[in-house]
Amino acid sequence: MDLIEVCNLTKDYGSHRGVFDISFQVKKGEVFGFLGPNGAGKSTTIRHIMAFSKPDKGKTKLFGLETFKNYDKILNRVGYIPGEIALPQGLTGLEFLKMMQDLQGKHNNSRLRELIKYFALDIVILKGETKKMSLGDKRKLAIICAFMNDPEVLILDEPTSGLDPVMQEKFIELIKSEKNRGKTILLSSHIFSEVDATCDRIAIIKDGEIVSIFNASDLKHATQKTYNLQFKFDKDYKEFIKKSKQVKYFKVVSKSGEKLKATIITDDKQINKVVSLLSKYEIKEFANIKETLEDYFMKYYKEDTVFRGLKNG
């Protein structure tokens, strides 16, 4: 069952800003990663899922209901973390949490206390005004607010922005725990390690369009492997390159005659043939290169001369 649905969503702000014909679904109990740099369209998509904006075309659904038409029926079942935290002025942290409980009509105080302790949010800070909090404490408050009433669905837009590495790791562990409890989670992020550690499926968005959707396990357990080779002698290197043009069980994807190096791709089923061939030569290096989520992502951005906004943790 799909609890989150984005169906041909288009919101055009002009100058190719916005999102264009985006579609994806998040199944019940799934953690779905939405990966892209700042400005790619992640927050625009999420604002439509949360019914904060009306699409030019297409629709978004939660629990099978179109969000823009059923805002009041669904949002008390959703935990949401915005990309930019804007807390109301004039309230303490505790008053803000109480206000959000009242708005949602749920008061799970035992869960609230657990989360406050888990994220080490000091009671002195909670009794102070939200406008005086640090960015990290504001982010903790937003996370606690999203999780405190044990929602069925969590929609998280750059949830760890502003957290220190220790708290980022604690957040990842919380997502894993919620996943094990069967929660449905949409995690929008530009941090590779965060997405890689938690998500079942991942969508990559570029310039407002989804360029890839894939199972995270397919990337981690791909049968096609990449290897770096370096030969001791020039004659062996040249003979290998010549041989590579005659066989089909591997492919040379890069080479350097000056350094006697080559990079090849082959399937796991063919590796014995590759090893048998290489045994005929004097080899200095034969090393597997594991493709990471970052490697896969950068295939879609490699033509960009300047690229900022993605990080590995």
Q: What confidence score (pLDDT) does residue 304 get?
A: 52
Q: What confidence score (pLDDT) does residue 141 get?
A: 96
Bridge-based pairing of strands 184-189 and 153-157 is parallel
Maximum Cα interatomic distance, the chain, rounded to a whole number of Å: 77
pLDDT for 51 beyond 60: yes
Q: pTM score, two decimals?
A: 0.80
Neighbouring C-alpha atoms within 13 Å toward the C-beta of 187: 32
Q: Where in the chain is the domain with CATH 3.30.70?
A: 224-290
* pLDDT band (50, 70, 90) for residue 135: very high
Q: Residue 209: phi, psi to the nearest 5?
A: -130, 145
pLDDT for 214 beyond 60: yes
**119: its two tokens:** 């994220």
**16: its two tokens:** 């190719």
pLDDT for 310 beyond 90: no
Q: Alpha helices, DSSP H only, in 208-256?
A: 216-220, 234-244
* pLDDT band (50, 70, 90) for residue 308: very low
CATH code of domain 2-220: 3.40.50.300
For residue range 82-128, list pLDDT tens digits in order: 999 988 889 999 999 999 999 888 899 999 999 999 999 999 999 99
Q: Residue 210: phi, psi to the nearest 5?
A: -80, 125
Instruction: Please count the other Cβ atoms lying within 10 Å of the Cβ belonging to residue 287.
Output: 9
* pLDDT band (50, 70, 90) for residue 299: confident
- Please report, for residues 12, 42, 61, 96, 300, the alpha-carbon distance to residue 16 in angstroms, rounded to integers and kept in the order given: 7, 14, 25, 38, 18
Average pLDDT (58-62) is 97
Closest CA to 228 of 193, 191, 195, 259: 259
- Report which residue type is found at 70: N
Query: b/e string for 57-90 if b means 16 or more Cβ within 10 A?
Result: ebbbbbbeeebbeeeeebbeebbbbbbebeeeee
Average pLDDT of the chain? 92
* pLDDT band (50, 70, 90) for residue 303: low
Q: Which residues pair with 5 in a beta bridge?
A: 25, 61
Q: How many residues are there in the chain?
A: 313
pLDDT for 306 beyond 60: no
Q: What confidence score (pLDDT) does residue 292 get?
A: 87
* pLDDT band (50, 70, 90) for residue 305: very low
For residue range 171-193, list pLDDT tens digits in order: 999 999 999 999 999 999 999 99
pLDDT for 298 beyond 90: no
CATH code of domain 224-290: 3.30.70
pLDDT for 313 beyond 80: no
Q: Where in the chain is the domain with CATH 3.40.50.300?
A: 2-220
Q: What confidence score (pLDDT) does residue 224 get?
A: 82
Residues whose CB is less than 8 angstroms from the CB of residue 148 and which lie 6 or more positions away in sequence, other chains included: 97, 100, 101, 108, 111, 112, 115
How is residue 248 annotated by DSSP? Answer: S
Q: Work out the burial of residue 98: count CB atoms within 10 Å of its CB; fewer than 13 is exposed, 13-18 middle, 19 or more buried.
A: middle
